């Protein structure tokens, strides 16, 4: 089994476990963006999940290869609390092989993933925005 299929299978198991353990009524897993569920992944990334309640911003990111590896940038926004976004990725990413380096930085193999979580209030007027930035460790 290739590593991508293995990571996606592990992700599905982890999400099923987290959802089963989540308190009823928690906004943490509420899909407020018209049914986007935990099976969604960010475009341009192999296995980076899109938190329920966030919607990827189309045409806002970039992707290219360098001699050291790939660089991918994507944006998502939604009516979710900043703390919930951080908690979701803190719980989910380690199960996909990412190790937390700092507050919003993770490392896996030769890549570094940075999350920049905007200070939106989670309201329709000021949605929370998340920037996902993946680059080779050598560039960071």
Structure tokens at 107: 């490392």
Q: Cα dihedral angle (113, 111, 41, 75), rounded to 10 degrees?
A: 40
86-106 confidence digits (pLDDT tens):
999 999 999 999 999 999 999
Query: What pLDDT, on a 0 to 100 scale, did the predictor assign at position 8?
Result: 56
Query: What pLDDT, on a 0 to 100 scale, did the predictor assign at position 7?
Result: 56
Burial of 59 (0-12, 13-18, 19+ CB in 10 A): exposed
Query: What pLDDT, on a 0 to 100 scale, did the predictor assign at position 131?
Result: 97
Q: Which of 103, 90, 128, 106 is closest to 45 using CA atoms?
A: 106
Please tell me the distance from the alpha carbon of residue 7 to that of residue 5, in angstroms, as a whole number.
Answer: 5
Its domain, for residue 113, covers 3-136
Mean pLDDT of 80-88: 95
Cβ atoms of residues 35 and 26 within 8 Å: no
pTM given for the model = 0.69
Query: What pLDDT, on a 0 to 100 scale, did the predictor assign at position 126?
Result: 84
Mean pLDDT of 76-83: 94
Query: What pLDDT, on a 0 to 100 scale, did the predictor assign at position 26?
Result: 34
Length of the chain: 140
Query: What pLDDT, on a 0 to 100 scale, did the predictor assign at position 35?
Result: 35
How many domains, in total, are found in the chain?
A: 1
Residue with the larger pLDDT of the pair 42 and 122: 42
Beta strand residue intervals within the chain, DSSP E:
54-56, 62-66, 69-78, 99-102, 105-108, 111-117, 128-136
4-61 confidence digits (pLDDT tens):
555 556 555 545 444 444 433 333 333 333 333 345 999 989 889 999 999 999 999 9
Task: Check residue 49 and report its DSSP letter.
Answer: B
Query: What pLDDT, on a 0 to 100 scale, did the predictor assign at position 109?
Result: 93
């Amino acid at each position: 089994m290739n590593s991508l299929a293995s990571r996606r299978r592990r992700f599905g198991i982890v999400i099923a476990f987290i959802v089963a353990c989540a308190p009823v009524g928690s906004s943490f897993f509420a899909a407020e963006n018209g049914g986007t569920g935990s099976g969604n992944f960010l475009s341009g990334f192999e296995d980076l999940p899109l938190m329920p309640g966030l919607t990827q911003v189309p045409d806002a990111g970039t992707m290219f290869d360098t001699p050291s590896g790939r660089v991918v940038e994507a944006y998502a926004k939604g009516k979710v609390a900043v703390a919930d976004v951080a908690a979701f990725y803190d719980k989910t990413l380690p199960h996909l092989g990412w190790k937390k380096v700092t507050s919003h930085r993770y490392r896996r193999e030769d890549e570094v993933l940075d999350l920049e979580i905007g200070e939106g209030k989670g309201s329709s007027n000021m949605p929370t925005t998340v920037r996902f930035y993946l680059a080779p460790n050598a560039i960071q």
